[in-house]
Amino acid sequence: MELLEFLKENGLKIIDQELDVNLEIPHIAYVEVKRKDSGPILFTNPIDRRLDKKYDYPVLMNIFANFDITTKILGRHPDAIAAEIEELLHMKPPQGWREKIDMLTKLFKLKNVFPKRLSSKGACQEMEVDSLHDLPILKTWPQDGGKFITTGQVYTKDLESGVQNVGMYRLQVYDDMRLGMHWQIHKDGAHFFHKYKKAGKKMPVTVAIGGNPLYIWCGQAPLPPNVFELLLYGFIRNENPRLVQSLTNDIYIPHDVDFVIEGYVDPNDLEIEGPFGDHTGYYTLPEPFPVMEVTKITSKKDPIFTATVVGKPPLEDKYMGWGTERIFLPLLKTTASDLIDYHMPENGVFHNLILAKMEARYPAHAKQFMHAFWGVGQMSFVKHAIFVDKDAPELTDYEAFTRHVLDRLSPDRILISEGVVDHLDHASPKQFEGGKLGIDATGDEVREGVQEPLSDEELLAKLRQIDEDIIEIKQYEKSSKNPIVLVRYAKKRSVQELFDKLDPLSKHMKLFVVVNEKEDLDNPYMLVWRVTNTIDAKRDVRLEPFIMVDGTDKNPKIDKNVREWPPEVVCDEKTLKDLMRRGVLDIDEEFIKRFGLL
């Protein structure tokens, strides 16, 4: 079935009104994916008012708009795919003829995993495109450094083994035939790049856009190094991915993608890339990255340009990440055999927070798990991990899970360490290296709760006697052993100075979290996003005389051990209000506030 027909059957919204690729189209997609009934959107008339340009190609966004459509793209529930992987990992020698036939059937299916290289041209090479400027590439955020390709499947090849890789990297448009290649240090593309650089050779690169949405999902799958991600396509679809060779280099790409951008990267050619409003909800700051020189652009007939938008949650990555999380559980269990389940909430921006359920067999077993997680592939970039025992509530039942953890929380059950952090993490004192925090909530409930609980009003009065810049407080889970005291603070000095004064209130509090003055204390979803984003555990968490967390944005002028702090991603107010006035967006001030749009 053609992609558009599939999407029409699954809630595709078609907007025929002329809309600008600069801010307007991405702002609409950003809002729509946050709705409970979110669906994919096709913009049939993209324009660029600044350039007085109308584009020939429609823009498709929010393909992974909900759980149902993601399941259909995968072909079945991701847990079913995970079960197949687990069965292969634990395959035993057959005992009888029936088991032998069953095993042969399963092994025979694996022949469809491997990509098939075609000798002919692909549908994606039927038409030629003159320039990158002919593509309706989006500028998503007001402070972005330019227009960015956001769903580019970047195909590369290892210089030594010849193994191909596909990754999802953003690509900044510099001019009509040059792109900035945002390879993060831990990605396979970057590893390949350094081999070419060492050998003094130019690196062939081909970027594919569109085609089967499963190609996009495979591009972000956390497979081990030197494993071509399209093997996963073959396994899930039970059909060989069909590839054709690029016309100006030896990279192979799927035959049925919509656009193909071919070229090479000169290892000696770096250019400033960014800033870019990223999936952390903050801008990543300008930094030198390799440049892709484009040698050819082709497309299929009547192509569709796909794009995504990143920023504050929830976004498409909520649903893409859900599929990844479920499918990769069996592989994660191979390095942590007592793992039962795990979950990465989207408002923890995936690498900032992981919840895990395990079979705790002996003291400190959870802390052993923490070290294992922080040493495994992309799990090594996780900043905060919470472990519970097998009898804990479901990991996605956030209220019950939170209460369960708070009843088992104490300073001696918290492990603060340090290690590698994601390239996009801005909170760590050093780039790529920062604090880690793990909570062992696998044991029994702690015996003591707060010695002398106070109402919010009483506690606020006592806190304001210490620091008048405390504006508001709210206590969550008051009946638990560790109520969370959330504090809205007009920050004029380091929060550490406030912490120094709190010892006299230790009988009234056990868990104290400070956030920015602008935060809404009645919005726990966005508070989790803020706090997990802004803390470095070694710098911002104290365990004595009770647990204290500085969840504020940092300021290098008043906070110690802080790098340049990036701006927060917010919509352009003029653009957003204009779309509302024109009736393109139907949202109210409550929606804007709930998701921090402005």
Asked if residue 194 belongs to a domain, the reply is yes
* Domain range for 298: 67-79+98-307
Residue 265 and residue 181 in contact, taking contact as beta carbons nearer than 8 Å: yes
CA proximity to 358, closest of 350, 347, 368: 368
242 and 353, same domain (yes or no):
no
Asked if residue 121 belongs to a domain, the reply is yes
Asked if residue 48 belongs to a domain, the reply is no
Residue 325 — pLDDT band, cuts 50, 70, 90? very high
345 and 210, same domain (yes or no):
no
Residue 300 and residue 198 in contact, taking contact as beta carbons nearer than 8 Å: no
CA–CA distance, 374 with 581 (Å, rounded to integer): 48
Asked if residue 40 belongs to a domain, the reply is no
Q: What is the pTM of this model?
A: 0.92
Q: Which amino acid is at 247?
A: L
Handedness of CA 271, 275, 281, 282 (dihedral sign): positive
370 and 423, same domain (yes or no):
yes
Q: What are the beta bridge partners of residue 385?
A: 354, 438
- Looking at the structure of the chain, the number of domains it has is 3
510 and 364, same domain (yes or no):
no
431 and 466, same domain (yes or no):
no
User: Would you call 475 exposed, middle or buried from its count of C-beta atoms within 10 A (0-12, 13-18, 19+)?
Assistant: buried
Structural tokens at position 142: 């007001």
Q: Which of 59-63, 100-104, 391-395, 558-562 has the lowest mean pLDDT?
A: 100-104
Which domain CATH number covers 133? 2.30.110.10
Q: Please determine, for residue 93, whether its predicted confidence score (pLDDT) is greater than 70.
A: no
Calculate mean pLDDT across residues 100-117.
66
- Domain-ending residue, one of 411, 441, 471: 441
- Domain-ending residue, one of 307, 326, 355: 307
- Domain-ending residue, one of 386, 418, 441: 441
266 and 373, same domain (yes or no):
no
Structural tokens at position 571: 């919509």
264 and 379, same domain (yes or no):
no
Structural tokens at position 37: 């009934």
Q: Which amino acid is at 265?
A: V
Instruction: Please indicate whether residue 231 or residue 42 has the higher confidence score (pLDDT).
Output: 42
Which domain CATH number covers 506? 3.40.1670.10
173 and 300, same domain (yes or no):
yes
Asked if residue 149 belongs to a domain, the reply is yes
Q: What is the pLDDT of residues 502-547, one digit of tens each?
A: 999 999 999 999 999 999 999 999 999 999 999 999 999 999 999 9
366 and 393, same domain (yes or no):
yes
290 and 157, same domain (yes or no):
yes
Asked if residue 113 belongs to a domain, the reply is yes
286 and 215, same domain (yes or no):
yes
Calculate mean pLDDT across residues 79-98.
72
Asked if residue 410 belongs to a domain, the reply is yes
Q: Please determine, for residue 558, whether its predicted confidence score (pLDDT) is greater than 90.
A: yes
Residue 88 — pLDDT band, cuts 50, 70, 90? confident
Asked if residue 329 belongs to a domain, the reply is no
435 and 464, same domain (yes or no):
no
Residue 190 — pLDDT band, cuts 50, 70, 90? confident
